[in-house]
Copies of this chain bind each other. A is one copy, B any other.
């Protein structure tokens, strides 16, 4: 690979001039620029961005830590995020933390060594105080889907409580009173918040949570299946089911169908996240939509503002879910 030294020799100019041609077009005469560019072309010169990063103390990379690379949720967010960062001439370095505290800490350490210009963290395992302390360093940090009060303007989050409230209220307004609930893992705060919203809506209708109609799942399809079986085995009747995410809803629907039950004939179902496959299910699944692409985009904008000094960007920190009604819910019979 040709280096800047070879380009400077061939063009008959100094290293600094070659560097200026590459980075700053204002202080180079057109004639000199032509000579340099011709030399670059002849040599097939490709700048070494590693050297550039070291010399300029800027890596032009953004570290992104997400829970998983697979699954229907994170891909869309990463895609939107990557597009925005890439459009600004930078790239992202992605790593997965698997929602595990130790792995998340390793990942953060890893990205830190990598001297990313900024970090976007979507983490569950590590506590707030660690994150607050970490974000006091000189590297800008953006927290995705997490609200840390002391760092509110570095957080891009969804009002999960409102989503749980909306899901529940929509069913209550359709006349349902016996509501079953399959939550995500309750150590994850988005699960807890969604459940809180559920309880708030129940409260508004003078109802309380029936523990027998409640099952804690893992956000995976199989736990939705297990939840359905658990709920049916309880013998307590319910006319609607709220699931903490769509994958569990799909599992629950499958388990119900295995028992000869129909949706929404026997009971209505509503999921959470509105991932693409909600449209493919039969009946099509109603769901609480999270604007995850928009949130990813917004995280990218935070980074452009904080690490790269971009001005005039409108940044929204708090997102609200919306209810997407499909065929899986109906009025109570």
Contacts and interface: CB of A to CB of B under 8 A. Distances in A.
Given A50-B53, A72-B277, 16 more contacts: A46-B112, A46-B113, A47-B113, A49-B115, A50-B59, A51-B54, A54-B54, A61-B93, A69-B82, A70-B79, A72-B276, A82-B95, A86-B95, A91-B114, A280-B280, A281-B282
Interface string A104-124: 000001101111000000000
B48 A113 contact: yes
A49 B282 contact: no
A257 interface: yes
Interface of A: 46-51, 53-54, 59, 61, 68-72, 74-76, 78-79, 82-83, 86, 91-96, 109-110, 112-115, 221, 250-251, 253-254, 257, 276-277, 279-282, 284
Pairs A-B, 9 closest by C-beta atoms: A250-B280, A282-B282, A70-B75, A277-B277, A69-B79, A70-B79, A70-B76, A69-B78, A49-B113
A105 to B, nearest CB: 13
A115 B46 CA distance: 10
B69 A72 contact: no
Contacts of A96: 79, 82-83
A218 to B, nearest CB: 15
A149 B72 CA distance: 34
Contacts of A253: 280, 282
A50 B46 contact: no
24 contacts: A46-B112, A49-B114, A50-B50, A50-B59, A68-B75, A68-B79, A70-B79, A72-B75, A72-B276, A74-B75, A75-B75, A82-B95, A82-B96, A91-B95, A92-B93, A94-B94, A250-B277, A250-B280, A253-B280, A254-B279, A254-B280, A254-B284, A280-B281, A281-B281
A77 to B, nearest CB: 8
A110 B91 contact: yes
A276 to B, nearest CB: 8
A280 B245 CA distance: 14
B95 A94 contact: no
A93 B93 contact: yes
Contact of A279 (B82, B83, B115, B221): B221
